[in-house]
Amino acid sequence: MPASQPRSRARDRNNVLNRAEFLSLNQPLKGNQESRSSSRKQSGQAGAAGAQNSSPKERRQSQQLPEEDCMQLNPSFKGIAFNSLLAIDICMSKRLGVCANRASSWGGARSMINLLGITGHGIPWIAGTLICLVKSSTLAGQEVLMNLLLALLLDIMIVAGLQKLAKRKGPYDINPGLLDYLTMDTYAFPAGHASRVAMLSKFFLNHLVLAIPLRILLVLWALCVGFSRVMIGRHHITDVLSGFVFGYLQFRLVELIWMSSNTCQMLISIW
């Protein structure tokens, strides 16, 4: 035993971890532990005192996180479907914008596509209707032309109001032209050209006697004008499709409020 004690003391002396600089690794200092425990107690007491002093309403507000800070881990199926369709619409519209600028794949045909779009603009149609109305000498022709003028004016006002509400930008950053500013067609949803050509084609098919080839050409013209707006990058596909729907609804509205021949004659006499 006496011999083993000096050996153990010598072993302890030779152990590196028993040096003063390494004591904190084996055995934390009491002062540090006491300071940590005292700081925890003080913070706990301060938190308890603050919780006691705060009113129940403030406690409830502190527990409730703002709505924008909450992560929606389980979005609704409708939200997922809507966002997916919106992403597909934007992607396809950008792909079909082949005439959006001169550097595009069909940039050389941009002037021709713009010219096709002018055939569906509101200003030329209103001007042409007014000229035909002045030169018309039959009561039936004046009745049809007056209701056509009403339909064109309603189309401009309805589309401008819907665009101001939606304020949706097009797939490409393209500034509207002068004619677009005159008809307040500055946003993308719904497409004003698409609604106008849909309304005009349905109006002519109902109130004009046309041969079958002309009827087919009229429908093809409306489709080409509508989708030319996607090709030049002014509208999304859904903007054009919704424009077709609104154009048909505008035609139904004009049919409901159709002005009779006497009403048209009275308005013409006032004018």
Q: Which one is catalytic: 121, 193, 207, 236?
A: 193
236 is catalytic: no
Confirm if 183 and 122 have CB atoms less than 8 A apart: yes
Confirm if 207 and 218 have CB atoms less than 8 A apart: no
SS3 content of the chain, % helix, strand, coil (to 5): 75, 0, 25
207 is catalytic: no
Q: Which two tokens stand for residue 218?
A: 């009229």
Q: What is the b/e burial string over 36-56, where b = at least 16 CB atoms within 10 angstroms of the residue's CB?
A: eeeeeeeeeeeeeeeeeeeee
Confirm if 123 and 182 have CB atoms less than 8 A apart: yes
The half-sphere exposure of 136 on its side-chain side, counting CA atoms within 13 A, is 18
Active site residues: 193, 235
